[in-house]
């Protein structure tokens, strides 16, 4: 497996406070990795360490299978980033701002037109940035990050403070990039709904610790609805179902069916009626991804 980013036991301490604790991050080539967590969870600190802007207290960072401590310059030449608010010269045009950046990174002049096209700002290339909306400024920041043809793009809360149309613009842009350029993207956010609509893999962090890292499909599986049966003598009713090969859980005096197809629900009800149990209620338990995220992060805080 080719990992573009691989951290092992990555930790950062400020005085007595642990900002990041033993973080093992794995980002595969060509994926959109959603780095998710409440504000203050350690996301920006992690990103700063990945970009060599901050030294880790412990652990290792490998990007493109190279050790960041030993080959920082070589690695960062292949990385683009937008951390917090993009910096720009308001009195200059979008084109002039990118020209100033282009000279720093040493990209060819033709690249300015290419990145403006990618972020769909070509029609305002010669307008002053001070007249841009927040969403346009964010897209200009991403354009600047793309100047050096990065293989890895790191975006820290890129939709923060944007209105709904600005959020949709950034989201669509991010979703397009891996398929059009082969780029790998790390995007951090505290909003699960944002990450869910873009990411292929999700890493959830809280209080500096990674508490979940897997595909978005696996996270969605956690949110699958279960069917709840409220029955008389529910514990005995649950045992009756298990005895007939129906997978179910029992807690809070209720039976939770693991499989929720109509046939399985009908079969469970039929078994309980035949075995003489009263059935009071059959309903679906709905759990959103938002619920799962809150439960994960709250449990970690409590623990």
User: How much is the pLDDT for 21?
Assistant: 95
214: left (phi over 0), alpha (psi -120 to 50) or beta: beta
**pTM for the whole thing?**
0.80
What's the CATH code, domain 3-78+150-221? 3.40.50.300
**Positive or negative CA dihedral for 187, 129, 150, 55?**
negative
DSSP H helical ranges for the chain = 43-50, 72-76, 94-105, 110-118, 134-146, 164-181, 192-196, 216-222, 234-243, 262-274, 289-302
Domain 225-286, CATH 3.30.70.120 — does that match?
A: yes
Residues with Cβ < 8 Å from 204, sequence gap 6 or more?
36, 37, 210, 211, 212, 213, 293, 296, 297
How would you write the pLDDT of the chain (303 residues) with one tens digit per residue?
789 999 999 999 999 999 999 999 999 999 999 999 988 889 999 999 999 999 999 999 999 999 999 999 999 999 999 987 778 889 999 999 999 999 988 889 999 999 999 999 999 999 999 999 988 999 999 999 999 999 999 999 998 888 888 889 889 999 999 988 889 999 999 888 889 899 999 999 999 999 999 999 888 877 777 789 999 999 999 999 999 999 888 988 999 987 778 888 999 999 999 999 999 999 887 777 777 777 777 766 544
The token pair at 99 is 């020209």
User: How much is the pLDDT for 295?
Assistant: 78
Residues 10-46: tens digit of each pLDDT: 999 999 999 999 999 999 999 999 999 988 889 999 9
**Positive or negative CA dihedral for 80, 200, 190, 44?**
negative
Among 8, 28, 12, residue whose Cα is nearest residue 20: 12
Q: Please check whether residue 2 is in contact with residue 188, taking contact to mean a CB–CB distance below 8 angstroms.
A: no
Could you state, in order of their start, the residue ranges of all structural domains in the chain? Answer: 3-78+150-221, 225-286
């Amino acid at each position: 497996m080719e990992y573009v980013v691989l951290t092992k036991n990555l930790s950062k301490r400020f005085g007595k406070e642990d900002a990041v604790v033993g973080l093992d991050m794995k980002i595969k080539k060509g994926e959109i990795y959603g780095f998710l967590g409440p504000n203050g969870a350690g996301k920006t600190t992690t990103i700063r360490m990945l970009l060599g802007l901050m030294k880790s207290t412990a652990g290792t960072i490998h990007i493109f299978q190279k050790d960041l401590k030993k080959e920082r310059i070589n690695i960062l030449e292949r990385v683009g980033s937008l951390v917090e608010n993009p910096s720009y010269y308001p009195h200059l045009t979008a084109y002039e701002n990118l020209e100033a950046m282009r000279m720093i990174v040493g990209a060819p002049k033709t690249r300015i037109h290419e990145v403006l096209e990618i972020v769909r700002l070509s029609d305002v290339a010669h307008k002053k940035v001070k007249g841009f909306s927040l969403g346009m400024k964010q897209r200009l920041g991403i354009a600047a990050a793309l100047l050096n043809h990065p293989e890895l793009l790191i975006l820290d809360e890129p939709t923060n403070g944007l209105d709904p149309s600005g959020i949709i613009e950034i989201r669509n842009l991010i979703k397009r990039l891996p398929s059009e350029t082969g780029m790998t993207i790390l995007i951090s956010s505290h909003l699960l709904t944002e990450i869910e609509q873009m990411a292929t893999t999700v890493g959830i962090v809280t209080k500096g610790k990674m508490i979940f890292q897997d595909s978005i499909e696996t996270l969605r599986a956690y949110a699958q609805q279960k069917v709840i049966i409220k029955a008389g003598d529910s514990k005995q009713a649950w045992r009756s179902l298990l005895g007939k090969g129906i997978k179910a859980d029992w807690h809070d005096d209720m039976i939770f069916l693991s499989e929720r197809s109509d046939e399985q629900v009908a079969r469970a009800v039929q078994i309980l009626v035949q075995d003489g149990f009263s059935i009071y209620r059959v309903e679906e338990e709905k759990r959103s991804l938002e619920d799962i995220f809150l439960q994960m992060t709250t449990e970690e805080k409590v623990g």
